Structure 1
Amino acid sequence: MSAKTTVPAVAMTAVSMVLTLAVVVMWLGEAMPWPVALVVGLGIDGGWLATLAYERRLAAQGDHSTAVTAVGWGFGLVATAVLIVHALTAEGNAGAWLAVAWLPLAAKALWLVHGLWERTALTAHALKTIRGIQQEARDEAAVARARLRAEAVTEETRLTAVTQAGARVAHVQARTAHALSRAWSTLEAAREGEDTTRALTCVTSRVTPGVAPSWELPVWGPTAPVPALTLDSAPALTDAELDRLVDEIRHSQTPALSYREMAARFRAAGHSASEVRLRAAWKRVVA
């Protein structure tokens, strides 16, 4: 991963150093011997390269020196100034030289970017852990979205089924109410008709001669409670009488009857007793 930032910085540095050396030799070679100009160019490039190497050494140790950085930028500015002055004084190719005058500063900026990348770079294990955490978060989010969608579809299906069932129930109730209304209307018309009693009397006159029955059809409306019938019930049997009857019915057949057969014959004979008393008498007789 470091090659992505190191290779461009190294290439830009090499190009800018070659350009600086060539410009110094061509520019100063006219005013002084070319070996002297070569020494000046190598001095500029050498100072720049030395400060750059020292900065890289400090960065590798996790340290930083503002003075060394300032000196490195100073050499870069000097190289850029040399290229700019040469471009302005050159004849015919000033634009081309100005176009490459920024290369020393660009190389310095690339080394700055490389240093920032090194200070923020992570190991392969850390990157793998981060990717795992991110993938786990994406998986959980996808599962949550799928669960919410499934619950929404289920709820929608349930609401649709309930709504349809309610609509069917309401439709059936409406039809039933309409049918009842028509039936009661028909009964009411028959009850209020003038010929209803005469027609019914004609039908039953041969069955009950001399009797004029009173026909009353049901009325759809409030009803009055019917009083309960009052009947004179027979006196309750005593325990002794109940035991005697149970014993007689039980031994009225050989072998002796079971409790169910005895109870059936007891009630068929017209006797009355609660189930609790009858079972208690059976237990006493059997014991």
Structure 2
Amino acid sequence: MKTETLTVPGAELYYEVRGSGPPLLLINGGDGDAAMFGPLAGLLAESHTVITYDLRGNSRSRLTGPPVPQRIEEHGHDAHLLLKSAAAGEPAYVFGTSYGGMIGMDLLARHPGQVRALVAHEPFVIDLLPDRDRWHALFQEVYELYERDGLDPALRKFSEAIGVDLPPDPDPDLPAPVREMLARLRVNQETCLAYELRSFVRFRPNAQALRAAPFALVIGGDGPKTLLHRTTGALAEQVGADIAEFPGGHVGFLTHPADFARALRAAFEG
């Protein structure tokens, strides 16, 4: 694996490249970073050049200006510039989870020549729901709770509302790389609540572009149904797509990497 940085407007992106073969870009969401894709990326690198990165303002991708509310379109441009640099102009397979799926949709809509196929895993497209106003109001409440009482109460309210478990605390008995990743995610959660959540969930994908492209929607097939299952279903209805079930839950790519890699390869081949 080699690590690199790429200068983009307003940020320095940290990214990792593994393997050889057709390029494959993995895009995380929420508080995640490239390390969460480590086990999956290692398996996929047997047949692809796998590119993973930290989203701007998260973990090792530092902002070069003051933090401000972010937009999916800004991150889509980051992905475009990253592929232009790391994939040498060759169209890439793209997998995105949660916010990452939305970033992939924006990349596909505005730069279709860069995307060979896109698989979006549980995209958080709140604005497609009929009760979107209630959710936007709730996320505003989460932000205000964060500002008033701090990170932990806000995260608990957010987690309970959407039905997705939070990452564990960085227990000292865990291996050092895992502890370090969890410590980074803890900081990223603040970035998410302050600058990403309320603006990201206003994103509406370009349905016409998705209908015309090699595009697949998937959800975690294990565990309880969550708000992200609802948002995925709403997008599927809008674009006329089927929904496939992948191993694990919302972070099945981390908890079931071997099974997830097989499912992802099959989705791209299909």
Common fold by TM > 0.5: no
Decide which structure has the larger Cα Rg and report it: 1
Give the structure with the higher percent strand: 2
Higher RCO by CA contacts (8 Å cutoff, separation 6 or greater)? 2
Q: TM-score range by the shorter chain?
A: under 0.3
| TM-score of the two chains, using structure 1 as the length reference | 0.18
